Amino acid sequence: MLCGVALIVIGILVQIDLNKTLIMSSASASGAPIVIIVVGVVIFFVSFFGCCGASKENYCMVTTFAILLTCIFLVEIAAAIAGYIFKDKVRTALQVGLEDAVRKYSNDSLIRDTMDELQKTYSCCGAQNYTDWFDVEPFESNHSVPRSCCLANATTATCNINPTSATINVRGCADSVETWLKKHIVIVAAVALGIAFFELLGIVFACCLMKGIRSGYEVM
């Protein structure tokens, strides 16, 4: 049950932290935190079912719990393998989403606010780099960028006009977000391994309990 709660919390935190980024990505990318939350909810209720079976010493309920937990464990392994295989597509989806956001920046207030917040949070500018803005109106005419690209300590009101590395963040947001993801994936992987370990313990203990309950029935 604690592992289920942990997954729910992780899913919510990931959704909050990457919400603004995922708005500009594909639907499949934005669905990842939702999947984590759903798996957490399923594990929580399956564990509750197992607790009821253990307290009542019900062989069928404990057996069902062990089978369901085993299925969840196998699904998580399959998801981890699939995530490793398709990890390179994350960069592509992120790049495409950010390029689309840059093109629509001037015409959509939601995307404009989202992109500004993203560039401030990750200290970046544009999708691939700051020159992406030079092909978008109204920045095309004077080779400028949004003010959200300016360095955090910038004091001049024209820091975004004729930008250089001394006045703005020149690194692209795709690189910055990808670096952030790689930095935090270790934490996510460690938590996932911990949850998998407890799930294995749950399966082993459930099997031991099943054996004990069955032995009790045979004695009776």
Q: Give the tens place of pLDDT for each residue, 164-190.
A: 888 999 999 988 888 887 777 777 777
For residue 10, what pLDDT is reported? 80
Residue 128 has pLDDT above 70, yes or no: yes
CATH 1.10.3370.10 fits 93-174, yes or no: no
For residue 22, what pLDDT is reported? 52
Whether the ω angle into residue 138 lies within 30 degrees of 0, i.e. cis, is: yes
Instruction: Break the chain into its structural domains and give their ranges.
Output: 2-90+185-219, 93-174
pTM of the model: 0.63
Output the CA angle 97-106-126, nearest 5 degrees: 45
Helical (H) or strand (E) element with 162: none
Which of the two residues, 16 and 145, has the higher pLDDT score? 145
Cα 159 from chain centroid (whole Å): 33
Q: Give 31's pLDDT tier (boundaries 50, 70, 90).
A: low
d(CA 90, CA 88): 5
Burial-class residue 182 by CB neighbours within 10 Å (0-12, 13-18, 19+). exposed
d(CA 9, CA 3): 10
Residue 48 has pLDDT above 50, yes or no: yes
List residues bridging with 144 in a β-sheet.
Answer: 161
